[in-house]
């Protein structure tokens, strides 16, 4: 049912990509909050595709860290812990410093104009809904990354920026982004001037202030995961060298 097929012959499709983009956007605009359920059926029906495709899209988003996938359970929007959010911001700072370092003094007039136009759009949306402001602010950073012409950098900056957006949903209170807009303008000016050191410092303080505004709670609001709380205690080594598992000292992660 719902044949949704435009029955175009060469239909560029990329249905998976479409779903991913839609969900990403919904997530960063906080239409989908952390913990929101994402059943495959519902997604498939909503986008007019089968569960197979919806599932694939969820897999991709999980690889980006925006979605949590647990076996035999409904996928949910990721709920990063406070520490994970902090880590994401730390990584983001380094990556974006790299971006502006590559960009300083190398932007064309066109590119600078593009950036200015974008910030103007941010300004115009200042009194609109928070969701739009947040999205535009994030897109400014992604725009910068794209100008490096480095696909890898674009991907990582985008991913980590989206993840940081997620943390805004979780820990931040009603956003006030005027200062951020101003900082964006300063960044553009420094980029145009080609002052590498200054632009890197600006980016650093900019993201740092965003982070500290976002992560208002100094203490981890943990309790999310018992294992996490117990981690420091489990670590205490009473000499049991490599007798057993190679990397016994690690408690969690299990990323391997």
Partner DNA sequence: TCCGAAAAAAGTGCATGCATTTGAGGCGCA
Partner DNA sequence: TGCGCCTCAAATGCATGCACTTTTTTCGGA
Least Cβ distance, residue 33 to its own copies (angstroms): 20
Beta-bridged to residue 77, according to DSSP, are 67
Q: Of 210, 24, 31, nearest to 130 (Cα)?
A: 31
Q: Is 226 in the site for its own copies (CB under 8 A)?
A: no
Residue 52 near its own copies by CB under 8 A: yes
Q: With contact defined as beta carbons under 8 Å apart, do 38 and 76 qualify?
A: yes
Minimum distance between the CB of residue 40 and DNA, rounded to whole angstroms?
3
Question: What letters, b where the CB count within 10 A reaches 16 and e where it falls short, cover 216-236?
Answer: eeeebeeeeeeeeeeeeeeee
Q: Which one of residues 150, 186, 196, 204 is an interface residue with its own copies (CB under 8 A)?
A: 150
143 vs 248: CA distance, rounded Å? 42
Q: Which residues pair with 193 in a beta bridge?
A: none
Task: Provide, rounded to whole angstroms, the least separation between the CB of residue 42 and its own copies.
Answer: 20
DSSP H/E element including 76: strand 75-77
User: Where do contacts with DNA occur on this chain (CB under 7 A)?
Assistant: 9-10, 13, 15-16, 38-42, 48-53, 55, 71-75
Q: Which does 41 bind (CB under 5 to 8 A by kind): its own copies, DNA, none?
A: DNA
Binding residues vs its own copies (CB under 8 A): 12-14, 16, 52, 55-56, 59-60, 63-65, 71, 83-84, 87-88, 90-91, 94-95, 97-98, 102-103, 106-111, 113-114, 117, 142-143, 146-156, 158, 160, 163, 231, 235, 237, 240-244, 246-256
């Amino acid at each position: 049912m719902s044949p949704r097929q435009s029955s175009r012959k060469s239909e560029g499709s990329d249905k998976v990509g479409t779903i991913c983009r839609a969900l990403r956007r919904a997530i960063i605009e906080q239409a989908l909050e952390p913990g929101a359920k994402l059943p495959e059926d519902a997604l498939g029906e909503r986008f007019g595709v089968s569960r197979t495709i919806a599932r694939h899209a969820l897999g991709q988003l999980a690889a980006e860290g925006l979605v949590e996938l647990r076996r035999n359970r409904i996928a949910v929007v990721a709920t990063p812990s406070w520490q994970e959010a902090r880590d994401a911001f730390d990584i983001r700072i380094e990556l974006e410093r790299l971006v502006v370092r590559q960009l300083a003094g190398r932007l064309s007039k066109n590119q600078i104009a593009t950036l200015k136009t974008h910030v103007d759009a941010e300004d115009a949306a200042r009194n609109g809904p928070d969701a739009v402001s947040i999205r535009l602010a994030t897109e400014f950073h992604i725009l910068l990354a794209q100008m490096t012409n480095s696909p890898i950098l674009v991907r990582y900056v985008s991913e980590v920026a989206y993840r940081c957006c997620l943390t805004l949903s979780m820990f931040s209170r009603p956003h006030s982004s005027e200062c951020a807009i101003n900082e964006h303008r300063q960044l553009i000016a420094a980029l145009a001037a080609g002052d590498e050191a200054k632009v890197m410092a600006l980016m650093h303080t900019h993201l740092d202030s965003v982070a500290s505004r976002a992560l208002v709670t100094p203490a981890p609001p943990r309790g999310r995961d018992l294992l996490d709380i117990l981690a420091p205690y489990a670590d205490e080594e009473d000499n049991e060298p490599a007798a057993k598992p190679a990397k016994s000292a690690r408690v969690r992660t299990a990323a391997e």
